[in-house]
Amino acid sequence: MMAGGRLAALALVGWATAWASVAHADPAVIEKAKAALAAGNARQAFADLAPLQDQLSGQPEFDYLLGVAALDSGRIDEAIIAFERVLALIPNHAGAQMDLARAYYAAGSYDLAEAAFLKLKESNPPAAAQQAINNYLEAINSRKAQTRAGWTGFGELSLGYDSNITGVPQDFGAAAEQSFALVGVTPTGNSVKRDAPFFQGAIGAEYSRPLSRGWSVFAGGDLRGRAYQDERLFNSAAADARLGAALNSGPDQWRTVLSYQYFEQEGDAPGEPKPTNDRRMGGLGLDWRHARDTKTQLGLGLQLNAVRFPTNKIEDFDQVFVSGSWLHSFERPGVPLLYLTAFGSYDKAKNKFEDGTTDKSKTLAGARAYLQYSFTPKAQVYTGLALIHRQDLEEFARSTTVSKGRDNYGEATLGIAWQFREHCALRLQYIYSRNASNIDIYDFDRHEVSSTIRCDMF
């Protein structure tokens, strides 16, 4: 989230500073520290520079390099002191101003950080610096919202096209023969491949209230709906409600959340009473995030979910879901942002088939990657990739001819986002997904294109 702090400093002041005033003291150590910083090893750079403080403190070039090494190795107080020494002698040293603001943010002094970033923003900095400043100001607003009572919310409208609403194979008859040894099957109802344009809307709001010692509580909810042209039975409505508590403690944030999700879709399945695609899910989640430095965040999550299908009980299951994540911004043009997450779940079926033995228990394992590149502070291109493997735990749970089902699901996303006004953005997105299963009836591919306008309210 702290995209391009160091890149912004480079854009503001340049890295080609004349080091003649300090190099005579120990040029080998200075060059070694510069190389360590360039390689991303701030701890080594600080270890090389710290012993020279008695000789060189007070020289702006040395203090700036020492401050950068201290900041990027987590020595926030020492970084602030070093940058303040630079600014005492060179008040307009833009690199030190930028990195001092970063240090204030890392220390949790959000008012000081905000004032420093706003001052820099008014000086018409280069595009890379402007982009980094905007990212910091957005993060500061988010952090400050956690320390005061109040509401946040959003509204969203989308138009799009879905090429395979029901997620079925191209040749359903052949798939039914492979999966169930049924010959000459003609698809009906949910088995018919359908495509249609859609309109989608969503609104959401959350109220948070700080308590003391970094604790806060929050409650919120979202409403979503999708309507297809000429496919009314597959229109859907969803609602989410959540209640939780958060603890902010230095670089660590803990959240625990109670949630309930409601999904409704009639579908076109045969039967009396008619089975639908309705789904309900209640869950308890625990999430931990750790800011390793101003550019890197680590995360771990655990969720316990109960998933129920009111008109199709054989699909009911209880779930244990675990995840780990890594978020990093890179100091180079475009300020790339990379988010990686890995996850797995154990889904224990609640009900068995008529044989009293078989059920639909399964395991899932997967990974997702998201990469963002910024052309300007208000325009980004992004891409995502997801891979998920499903393994049935019971024999013949989804087929009469294949013993244990195995699915490999892949999804690729490409999009462009443009912030056309404060708090409002336009997103153009394309998603391709494919499920490859050893049970042919679950094979499908799907294309979805959409344009979405979202506005956040603070």
Q: Per residue in 50-63, pLDDT tens?
A: 888 888 888 888 88
Q: In the predicted model, what is the mean pLDDT of residues 398-409?
A: 96
221, with CB counted inside 10 A (0-12, 13-18, 19+), is: middle
Q: In the predicted model, what is the mean pLDDT of residues 130-155?
A: 78
pLDDT at 14 over 60: no
Contact by Cβ (8 Å): 177, 187: no
Q: Can you tell me the distance from the alpha carbon of 214 to that of 356, in angstroms, rounded to the nearest whole number?
A: 51
* pLDDT reported for residue 26: 61
Sign of CA dihedral 81, 83, 86, 87: negative
Domains of the chain: residue spans and CATH:
5-142 (1.25.40.10), 150-457 (2.40.160.40)
Q: In the predicted model, what is the mean pLDDT of residues 377-395?
A: 95
Mean pLDDT, the chain, rounded, equals 88
DSSP 186: P
Q: Which amino acid is at 248?
A: N
What confidence tens digit (pLDDT) does each residue in 255-298 have? 999 999 999 999 999 888 899 999 999 999 999 998 876 678 99
Neighbours of 294 (CB within 10 A): 24
pLDDT at 341 over 90: yes
Give the range among 10-24, 89-103, 232-246, 293-307 with minimum mean pLDDT: 10-24
Taking the mean position of all CA atoms in its chain, how far away is CA 112? Answer: 28
pLDDT at 36 over 90: no
Q: Can you tell me the distance from the alpha carbon of 334 to that of 4, in angstroms, rounded to the nearest whole number?
A: 9
What confidence tens digit (pLDDT) does each residue in 199-255 have? 999 999 999 988 887 889 999 999 999 999 999 999 999 999 999 999 988 778 999
SS3 label, residue 229: coil
Residue 436 backbone dihedrals phi, psi, to 5 degrees: -110, 115
* pLDDT reported for residue 333: 78
Structure tokens, 134: 């905007």
* pLDDT reported for residue 39: 81
Backbone region of residue 157 per phi and psi (left: phi > 0; alpha: psi in -120 to 50; beta: other values): beta
Q: Can you tell me the distance from the alpha carbon of 300 to that of 135, in angstroms, rounded to the nearest whole number?
A: 24
pLDDT at 184 over 70: yes
* pLDDT reported for residue 153: 94
* pLDDT reported for residue 7: 46
Q: Can you tell me the distance from the alpha carbon of 222 to that of 240, in angstroms, rounded to the nearest whole number?
A: 5
Give the range among 1-15, 244-258, 377-391 with minimum mean pLDDT: 1-15
Closest CA to 413 of 345, 344, 363, 339: 339
* pLDDT reported for residue 226: 98
For residues 103 and 258, the model is more confident at 258
What confidence tens digit (pLDDT) does each residue in 72-86 have? 888 888 999 999 999
For residues 458 and 306, the model is more confident at 306
Percent of the chain with pLDDT over 90: 56
Residue 174 backbone dihedrals phi, psi, to 5 degrees: -65, -40
* pLDDT reported for residue 21: 42
What confidence tens digit (pLDDT) does each residue in 143-169 have? 766 667 788 899 999 999 999 999 999
* pLDDT reported for residue 293: 67
Closest CA to 376 of 340, 334, 324: 334
The continuous run of DSSP H or E covering 420 comes out as: strand 406-421
Residue 89 forms beta bridges with which residues?
none
DSSP 50: G
What confidence tens digit (pLDDT) does each residue in 310-332 have? 999 999 999 999 999 999 888 77
Q: In the predicted model, what is the mean pLDDT of residues 429-439?
A: 98
Q: Which amino acid is at 282?
A: G
| pLDDT interval class at 302 (50, 70, 90) | very high
Peptide bond into 273 cis (omega under 30): yes
CA atoms within 13 A on the CB side of 241: 4
Q: Can you tell me the distance from the alpha carbon of 3 to that of 135, in angstroms, rounded to the nearest whole number?
A: 7
SS3 label, residue 362: strand
State pTM to two decimals: 0.77
DSSP 149: -
Closest CA to 376 of 418, 328, 337, 331: 418
Q: In the predicted model, what is the mean pLDDT of residues 344-364?
A: 95
* pLDDT reported for residue 147: 64
Residue 58 backbone dihedrals phi, psi, to 5 degrees: 100, -15
Give, in degrees to the nearest 5, the angle at Cα 290 between 371 and 334: 25
* pLDDT reported for residue 296: 85
| pLDDT interval class at 41 (50, 70, 90) | confident
Give the range among 33-42, 135-144, 421-430 with minimum mean pLDDT: 135-144
Q: Can you tell me the distance from the alpha carbon of 364 to that of 347, in angstroms, rounded to the nearest whole number?
A: 8
Residue 150 forms beta bridges with which residues?
208
SS3 label, residue 235: coil
Contact by Cβ (8 Å): 366, 388: yes
